Amino acid sequence: MNTKVKGTILGIVSAVSYGTNPLGALYLYREGLNSSSVLFYRFLFAVIILAGIMLVQRQSFALTRKELKTLCTLGLLFAVSSLTFYTSFHYIDAGIAATMLFVYPIMVAVIMALFFKERISKVTLFSIALALSGIALLYRGGSGAGISTTGVVLVLVSALTYALYMVVVNQSAIVMSSIKLTFYVLLVCMVAIALQSGLGNGTQLQPLTTPRMWLFSLMLGLVPTVISLVTMTLAVHAIGSTPTAIMGALEPLTAVVIGVTLFGEAFTPRLGIGIVMILTAVLLIIASKSLPVHKAMTKLGHLLQAVPLHKH
C-alpha cells in the first residue's frame, strides 16, 4: 500500500472514530450519567492510555513554566468546548450538533481577521454566508419547527472555544509531541470538570455502577480520543495536515448516521441540504491555503509531526 492511500485510510479512520462521540455519550445518558460525569471518565481513561504511551516511548513529562501556562489555557478552552458540546445533546439531535460544531474553522478565520489583522478573502466571506444559511436551515428543524435555542447556543459556544483553542496553538511558541500536548490538555480538562462538578447544580460526578457504563466510558476514552489522535498523527505524517483536515468532514456525517440509525433522530431533505451547505463552506475554508485557518492547522500538523513513531 503506497503512502498516499495509507494516509487517506488513516485520515478516514481518524474522522470516523472522532464522529463516534455521540454514540458513547448518548448511551451513557440513557444509563443515567450526567454530562460532567461522561466527560470526566472520557478524559480519565484517555489520560491513562496517553500516559502509558508516553512511558512506552520514554517521553519526558517535564514542562517549563511557559508551557504549563499555555497548556492550562488550552485545557480550559477544550474543557468548556467539550462540556457545552456534550450538554447540547440534551437539547438537539447529536447529528445537528456535530455539524454545527464543524463551523469552527470559519470562526478561526474571523478571529484571526479581527484580532490579528489577517485578511478576509472573498472565499471566506462566501463560506461564512453559506455556513450561516446552512445553520438557519438546521435551526428550523426537519419539520420546519424551531429547534432548541439553548442547544444551538451551546454548540456555537463549543465551536467558538475550540476556535480559540486553535488560535492559541497557532499563536503560541509551544513545541512538543502531540501525545504529550494532548495528555496535559486532557489532564487539565479532567481536573476542570471535577472542580466544576463540585459546584453542584446537578453536575456532581456519578460513579460507574454497571459494566455498560464502564464499557462506553472506556470506548469514549479510546475510540474518539486516543485512536482518533493516533490515526490523525499517522495521516498527517503520510499526506499532510490539510488533506487530513478536509477528511474531517466525515466527523459530523458519522454523527448524523449514528443519530439517525441508532437513536431514531430525524433526517429530512431540509436537514440534508443544511448539512451539505455547512460542510461545503468549511471545506472551502480549509482548502484555501492562503487563509489563516490553514496556518492554524499547519501549526497543529507540525505538532503532530513531532510525535516519535516506532516502525514495526
pLDDT on residue 45:
96
**CB 179 within 8 Å of CB 54:** yes
Tell me which of 286 and 220 has the higher pLDDT.
220
**CB 275 within 8 Å of CB 102:** no
Q: How confident is the model at residue 285 (pLDDT cuts 50, 70, 90)?
A: confident
Q: For residue range 2-47, what is the model confidence (pLDDT) as tens digits?
A: 888 888 898 899 889 989 999 999 999 999 999 999 999 999 999 9
Tell me which of 103 and 145 has the higher pLDDT.
103
Range with lowest mean pLDDT among 43-57, 109-123, 131-145: 131-145
* Count of CB atoms situated within 10 Å of the CB of 237: 18
Tell me which of 241 and 264 has the higher pLDDT.
264
Would the CA dihedral through 12, 96, 256, 226 be positive or negative? positive
Q: How confident is the model at residue 312 (pLDDT cuts 50, 70, 90)?
A: very low
Q: For residue range 153-175, what is the model confidence (pLDDT) as tens digits?
A: 999 999 999 889 888 887 887 88
pLDDT on residue 141:
57
Looking up cell 489532564 gives: 187
SS3 content of the chain, % helix, strand, coil (to 5): 75, 0, 25
Quick one: what percent of the chain has pLDDT higher than 70? Answer: 88
Is residue 290 predicted with pLDDT exceeding 90? no
Residue 188's alpha-carbon distances to 26, 47, 253, 291, in angstroms, are: 24, 10, 29, 30
pLDDT on residue 146:
61
Question: And the C-alpha cell for 86?
Answer: 456534550
pLDDT on residue 168:
86
Tell me which of 307 and 273 has the higher pLDDT.
273
Across all residues in the chain, what is the average pLDDT? 84
Average pLDDT over residues 194-210: 84
CA dihedral 269, 270, 276, 280 (to 10 degrees): 150
pLDDT on residue 27:
94
pLDDT on residue 238:
82
Q: Report the distance separating Cα 271 and Cα 95, nearest Å.
A: 10
Quick one: what percent of the chain has pLDDT higher than 90? Answer: 40
Is residue 299 predicted with pLDDT exceeding 80? no
**CB 237 within 8 Å of CB 309:** yes
